[in-house]
Structure 1
Amino acid sequence: MSLALDPAAQDLLFREARTANTFTDDPVTDDQIEAIYDLVKYGPTSMNQQPLRIVLVRSAEARERLGEHMSEGNRKKTAAAPLVAVLAADNEFHEELPSQFPHFPQAKSLFAERAVRERSAKLNALLQVGYFIIGVRAAGLAAGPMTGFDAEGIDKEFFSDGEHSVLVVVNIGRPGENAWFTRSPRLAYAQVVTTV
C-alpha cells in the first residue's frame, strides 16, 4: 500500500471508526482530553491561527442548559454521553496572533475587518474540528459529532461575550450497546477526484 500508517491504525482512525450514538458509563477524563488536544494541536491552520475553542460540558446543570438547545433527536444522546464538548470558533483569534506568529507582525492587521476574520475563523476552526474527531479516535474513544442544535442559543448560553460561534457539539466516550447505525455508502474515488 502507499500509506505509511499501518492497517490497524488506518482502521482505528478511519475504516472501523464510526459515529457513536450510545455510550457506556465509562468516564472520559481530563487527562484523556488533554492528551487528545496535545496531539491534534499540531494540525495545520492558515497562518497558525488556531481559532478552535473547546468547552467541556461535565456538570448536570451545564448539560441541562445545553440540552435545551439541542434538536429533539440529539437531546437524549447528549444527556447520556459521558462527556460532551462544544467546539466553537474564536472570532477574535487575531488577538493571539502576535504571540503565536511572531515572524509575521502584520498578521493582526490582515484580520481587522470582522467579516474576513469570522470567515477565516470558521474555516480554520472546522479544520481543527476534524483533527479533534480523529484525535478522539486515536485515544480509543468514539465521537458523536452533531450539528443539530440552535446555534444562536448555544452561543448565548456558553459564549456570552459574543466573540465565539459554535460549530459542532461532540459526544465522547466508549461505544455502548447498539451504538452504530448502518454505515452509509461513501463516494468512490472516480466520483470525487479529477485530474486536469
Structure 2
Amino acid sequence: MLSSSSLDTLFTKARSHKGWLDKEITSEQILQIYNLLKFAPTAGNCCPARFTFIQSEEAKRRLKPTLDSGNVDKAMHAPAVVIISYDSEFYNKLPYLAPHYDAKSGYEGKEMKIKFAGEFNSALQGAYFIMAARSIGLDCCPMLGFSKEKLNQEFFPEEKNISTFICAIGYGDESKLQNRAPRLDFNEACSIL
C-alpha cells in the first residue's frame, strides 16, 4: 500500500490549481508523465489518447481564442497546457497494441463505436495523465471550458484528432487556492448490493 504521504499527493491534498508559480517544467518531466500514464487501462488496449503539450508563447496565442473567458488566465499563466484528444483512426494501431485477435476489424467503418471508444478511453487516459503529473510533483487544472470546434480546427485541422479536455500543468500557487469545496459522503455516492 502507498504511504499516507503518497496518498495525500495523489488524492487527499491534491487540488485543481488556478494560479501558477513562475517555474518551468522540463521535457524530461513531460516524458516521465507519458511513461507513467501509458499504462492506463483502455478497452482492448486501444490507447486512443493523444497528448499535445502547449508550452511556447506562439502555441499559447493559438490556444487563447479557443478558451472560455474564465479559463484564459488559468491556461495562459501555466507552464504548459495539454490537449488530451483521441485519434479517430486509433484502430489502425490495434494490430500492434492488441495482437492476440483482429481488434481492428471491430472498429473499421463503425463511426459511433469509434467515437464512443475514443471519448471514453481518452478520458480514462486523461485521468491517468493527472495522476502521473501529480506523482512527479506537478499540479493540474483539468478544464472543459473551451470551444472544442475552434480548438480542433486550430490544432487538428486534418480532423484526425478530436479533443476530449485540456489540462494545465505546473507548480500551483497555493496562495491563490480557495478553501476546498466539500465532497459527498460515502452513503450519498455509493451503494453496496
1:120 aligns with 2:108: no
TM-score (norm 2): 0.96
Instruction: Quote the offset at 1:78 in angstroms.
Output: 1.1
State the percentage of identical aligned residues.
33
- After the TM superposition, which residues 128-139 of structure 1 pair with which residues of structure 2 at under 5 Å, given as runs? 128-139=125-136
1:110 aligns with 2:79: no
Output the aligned Cα RMSD: 1.0
Q: Which moved more, 1:45-54 or 1:180-189?
A: 180-189
What residue identity is the alignment partner of 2:32? A
Which one of the candidate residues 165, 184, 188 is aligned to 1:168? 165
Q: 1:18 to 1:177 in 2, by over 3 A?
A: closer
What residue identity is the alignment partner of 1:145? P
Corresponding residue of 2:6: 9
Q: 1:177 to 1:44 in 2, by over 3 A?
A: closer
Corresponding residue of 1:187: 184
Corresponding residue of 1:61: 58
Tell me the SS of whatever aligns to 1:178.
helix
Instruction: Quote the offset at 1:182 in angstroms.
Output: 2.1
Which one of the candidate residues 56, 72, 76 is aligned to 1:75? 72
Instruction: Quote the offset at 1:179 in angstroms.
Output: 3.2
Tell me the SS of whatever aligns to 2:176.
coil
What residue identity is the alignment partner of 1:85? V
Tell me the SS of whatever aligns to 1:68.
helix
Instruction: Quote the offset at 1:192 in angstroms.
Output: 1.6
Which one of the candidate residues 32, 36, 49 is aligned to 2:33? 36
Instruction: Quote the offset at 1:89 in angstroms.
Output: 1.3
Aligned partners of 1:179 and 1:161: how far apart in 2?
39
Corresponding residue of 1:51: 48
Aligned partners of 1:185 and 1:10: how far apart in 2?
18
Gaps of 5+ in 2: none
Query: What are the superposed Cα offsets for residues 76-95 of structure 1, whole Å, 9 maximum, x if unpaired?
Result: 12111111111111121101
Corresponding residue of 1:140: 137
Gaps of 5+ in 1: none
Instruction: Quote the offset at 1:177 in angstroms.
Output: 5.2
What residue identity is the alignment partner of 1:97? L
Q: 1:179 to 1:142 in 2, by over 3 A?
A: farther
Aligned partners of 1:29 and 1:185: how far apart in 2?
34
Deviation beyond 4 Å, 4+ runs, structure 1: none
Aligned partners of 1:31 and 1:189: how far apart in 2?
39
Query: What are the superposed Cα offsets for residues 117-171 of structure 1, whole Å, 9 maximum, x if unpaired?
Result: 1111110000001000011100101001111000000001011111221111111
How many residues are matched?
192
Aligned partners of 2:81 and 2:168: how far apart in 1?
5
TM-score (norm 1): 0.95
What residue identity is the alignment partner of 1:124? N
